[in-house]
Amino acid sequence: MRAVLVLNAGSSSLKFALFALEPQLADHPALWGQIEGIGATPELSARTAGGERFSDEIQVSGGQTEQHRQSLNHLLDWLSAHNPNLDIVAAGHRVVHGGERYSAPVRLDEAVIAELDRLVPLAPLHQPHNLRAVRAVASLMPEVPQVACFDTAFHRSQSPLAQAFALPRALSAEGIKRYGFHGLSYDFVARQLPTIIGERAKGAVVIAHLGNGASMCALRDGKSVASTMGFTAVEGLMMGTRTGSLDPGVLLYLMEQKGMDAASLTRLLYKESGLLGVSGISQDMRTLLGSDAPEAAEAVALFCYRIARELGSLAAAAGGLDALVFTGGIGEHAAPVRAKVAAMSAWLGLSIDQTANAEGRVRIDSTGSRVAVAVVPTNEEAMIARYTMEALDGC
């Protein structure tokens, strides 16, 4: 089987998918899964399009980078064992930050990797791990072309105004501006919208990508005009473990009064806050929705309140609101979250059909709603596979 291997590497996990070229690229993966627990006891779990499920423990040794390499090596062996005649013709990676330079996917070589390495401080939770997977593939399969697909690229269509911070010009000129993330997901979802909401897909649309990381994007004519995430993936909405937007004065206070340094503030902003920090229970929306603890309810309420506030802001940026679309693990599956956001957004002429929402139908707006409301599953991996083949066609 000739196939594109898609990799989305996190700090301790490696999500993968294999898309067959038969001879055209398949819309759905033949096989997908993840390796979790890299750094401790890595375990591979996978599913095939035919419904088979696999799990496999991986024997590793050494530090995090070496374990990533060994885990990837194990994955490649495992894929070949389960797919006789497997021929990986390309590897496509999710790379979170493409900086100012990259507004489209790019074929990876040493010079591009070095440039992307310089963006690591802007996405400390993602970029180093994304690049580690790129290097591991380069060492294990040097003949396979690799393509980086960026979370930031989709937002390069935003106006200079939407990207600006009110900072002195010299700092803005250095590239300290708003980039936006989750672009692979927004692009995938935006391409589905014409068949789901018709002409409104060309109007003012807000997509809420609500996963572990969460952001929202305003679109006009299918293009990004504004987003809640900015310079880094910590701005905007409250997330699983990230604060989202926070008065910068809080950071000054913590530095001056509590002696916190950059490392401890990074931990606080990225790992200890959000749903986890507010609830004190979990970062997982399923656990919080299933809990009777008032702290869990408070965390969910704040999560929904922040989404509703940002919806108002993005409607202003888009010049109205023709449609609201939910995606990501929470957006796709957490009906109570969608219901709370909709209730707070009635002033926009938006209302949902409670039954359609509870059943998780694609269109959940009520008959009288001025705004279309939809639930559209995202598929960042399919987007990466498509981008990868497009980028290599041009080589």
Ligand X SMILES: Nc1ncnc2c1ncn2[C@@H]1O[C@H](COP(=O)(O)OP(=O)(O)O)[C@@H](O)[C@H]1O
Ligand Y SMILES: CC(=O)OP(=O)(O)O
Task: Give catalytic residues, as residue numbers.
Answer: 151
Of residues 21 through 40, those in contact with ligand Y by CB under 6 A are none
Whose Cβ is closer to ligand Y: residue 203's or residue 277's? Answer: 277
Coil/strand/helix, residue 45: strand
Of residues 120 through 149, those in contact with ligand Y by CB under 6 A are 126
| Contact present, 157 and 225 (Cβ < 8 Å) | yes
**Amino acid occupying residue 158:** Q
Interface with ligand Y includes 182 (CB under 6 A)? Answer: yes
Confirm or deny that 330 is annotated as ligand binding: yes
Distance CA 91, CA 3 (A): 9
Tell me which residue of 10, 7, 6, 17 sits closest to 233, measured CA to CA.
10
Sole binder of ligand Y in the list 32, 78, 181, 270 (CB under 6 A): 181
Exposed/middle/buried for residue 55 (C-beta within 10 Å: 0-12, 13-18, 19+): exposed
Order of strands, edge to edge, in the sheet holding 43-48? 53-57, 43-48, 31-36, 14-20, 2-9, 87-95, 146-150, 106-107
Confirm or deny that 256 is annotated as ligand binding: no
The residues of the shown chain that bind ligand X, judged by CB under 6 A, are: 211-213, 240, 284-286, 289, 328-330, 333-334
Sole binder of ligand Y in the list 6, 95, 96, 269 (CB under 6 A): 96
**If residue 351 lies in a helix (H) or strand (E), which one and from where to where?**
none
Q: Which residue is nearest to ligand Y (CB)?
A: 213
Interface with Mg ion includes 33 (CB under 5 A)? Answer: no
| Contact present, 371 and 350 (Cβ < 8 Å) | yes
Options 59-67, 172-180, 211-219, 341-349: segment touching ligand Y (CB under 6 A): 211-219
Whose Cβ is closer to Mg ion: residue 203's or residue 244's? Answer: 244
Q: Least distance (Å) from ligand Y to the CB of residue 367?
A: 34
Give the tokens for residue 208.
Answer: 């809420």
In eight-state DSSP terms, residue 234 is T
Q: Least distance (Å) from ligand X to the CB of residue 67?
A: 20
Distances (CA, A) of 136 to 78, 141, 149: 16, 8, 17
> Nearest 5°: phi and psi at 343?
-60, -40
The residues facing 325 across adjacent strands are: 207, 374
- Can you give the C-alpha Rg of the chain in angstroms? 21
Sole binder of ligand Y in the list 33, 42, 211, 277 (CB under 6 A): 211
Residues in the chain, total: 395
- Residue 133 contact, options ligand Y, ligand X, Mg ion, none, Cβ 5-8 Å cut-off depending on partner type: none
How far the first Cα of the chain sits from its last, in Å, is 23
Interface with ligand Y includes 190 (CB under 6 A)? Answer: no
Distance CA 282, CA 257 (A): 28
Q: Least distance (Å) from ligand Y to the CB of residue 292?
A: 28
Interface with Mg ion includes 211 (CB under 5 A)? Answer: yes
- Residue 271 contact, options Mg ion, ligand X, ligand Y, none, Cβ 5-8 Å cut-off depending on partner type: none
Per residue in 239-253, is it b (16+ CB within 10 Å) or e — as a string? Answer: bbbbbbbeeeeeeee
Give the tokens for residue 68.
Answer: 């990533």
**Amino acid occupying residue 322:** D
- Residue 182 contact, options ligand Y, ligand X, Mg ion, none, Cβ 5-8 Å cut-off depending on partner type: ligand Y
Residues binding ligand Y: what is the number (CB under 6 A)?
9
Q: Least distance (Å) from Mg ion to the CB of residue 39?
A: 20
Whose Cβ is closer to ligand X: residue 80's or residue 287's? Answer: 287
Confirm or deny that 8 is annotated as ligand binding: yes
Whose Cβ is closer to ligand X: residue 196's or residue 358's? Answer: 358
Give the tokens for residue 156.
Answer: 């390069």
Interface with ligand Y includes 307 (CB under 6 A)? Answer: no
Whose Cβ is closer to ligand Y: residue 4's or residue 9's? Answer: 9
Whose Cβ is closer to Mg ion: residue 180's or residue 211's? Answer: 211
Confirm or deny that 244 is annotated as ligand binding: no
Q: Residue positions in the annotated binding site for ATP?
A: 15, 209-213, 284-286, 329-333
Q: Residue positions in the annotated binding site?
A: 8, 15, 94, 209-213, 284-286, 329-333, 380
User: Which spans of this chain sit near ligand Y (rule: CB under 6 A)?
Assistant: 96, 126, 151, 181-182, 211-213, 233
